[in-house]
Amino acid sequence: MSNLTLVTGAGGFIGGQLVRDLLRQKIPVRAVDKKPADQWYFRSNDAQNIVADVQELGACERAAKGVAHVYNLAADMGGMGFIENNKALCMLSVLINTHMLMAAQKHGVERFFYSSSACVYPAYKQTEADITALKESDAYPAEPEDGYGWEKLFSERMCRHYREDFGLVTRIARYHNVYGPFGTWDGGREKAPAAISRKVALAVIEGKHDIEIWGDGEQTRSFMYIDDCLIGTQKLLHSEIEQPLNIGSDEMVTINQLVDAVEDIAGIKLKRHYKLDAPKGVRGRNSDNSLIKAKLGWAPSISLRAGMEHTYRWVYDQAKARAEGRPFIAAAA
């Protein structure tokens, strides 16, 4: 078999940057996404680009044929506002992983990567802002994020049983809040780093000095820059680690501290208005990286400040282009 690698969700943020990185390494890539090709965040003529909906079994079987490795990143998801208000849509993503596993097993795929989420962790362990970092073993007894988290946890189990019953080598990452340039920055599916970057950028562009923050701003999170995500994802696929593994930064900050950082980068101070009834998720979440350090001898290390420098500048350029009626600045092909 060739070393052809399939990336599903290739038109999205993480998928697009993974395709770019694989091509940089001269690895042949089949890139699949259901969005029209002109809406992909990154698209290269060096990849096999296919527009198809991998919720459908037939699409998965066509995509997996002749493939050595699968990175299954496709999912119907977004930031907390989307997740809390679209539980059924999020759960329908179970069709993607189910059908991709069936297709991978049928076509003899060698290794299968599944992108799970920190949303699998139980709510009862995330009730305080000053949270104890979440270990992989904390996922059970289960009480994940309703909708999206349950789908992710179920799909983790599906991967485990395909490994146990059919010998398909599966690897599972629990991503913690991946961010960076070349991703969703408005429209309701964006995550906090992109949303805060957009709000600050618009304040600069429009000459306003106000910002709306969801919740009281004291909820805590850790945010992982895309470059760390790409390294960890590929290391995990090629490892012998069978259990789900956190891939996330352990640099925990409040949302207010995230706003502080972006304001400092932009050189502006804004009056904060707190929308207390907005979707805000759990009170606190952080990644315990003990296991990934022990198993891979590596952990995400790019600081929030460094990552937000790149992210804010890119979002600002996007917002400025829109305000001036210019085309958006896409990832280079």
CB of 231 closer than 8 Å to CB of 298: yes
**Using the 8-state DSSP alphabet, how is residue 284 labeled?**
B
Is the C-alpha dihedral spanning 206, 225, 60, 330 positive or negative? positive
- Candidates 307, 309, 326; CA nearest to 17 is 307
Q: How far apart are CA 48 and CA 57, in angstroms?
A: 19
Decide if 179 is catalytic: no
Q: Alpha carbon of 221 to those of 82, 188, 248, 295, 304: distances in Å?
A: 18, 19, 10, 24, 11
Which structure tokens are listed for 15? Answer: 């998928």
Which structure tokens are listed for 150? Answer: 């349950």
CB of 194 closer than 8 Å to CB of 13: no
Q: 26 CB contacts (<8 Å, ≥6 apart)?
A: none
Q: How many residues in total does the chain contain?
A: 333
From 41, 71, 114, 148, the catalytic residue: 148
Which structure tokens are listed for 49? Answer: 């680009």
**Using the 8-state DSSP alphabet, how is residue 267 labeled?**
T
Q: 158 CB contacts (<8 Å, ≥6 apart)?
A: 97, 98, 101
Annotate 232-255 with DSSP letters as a single string: HHHHHHTS---S-EEES---EEEH
Show the CA angle centred on residue 290, arms to residues 244 and 296, nearest 5°. 65
* Residue listed under structure tokens 């990644």: 287
Active site positions, annotated = 148
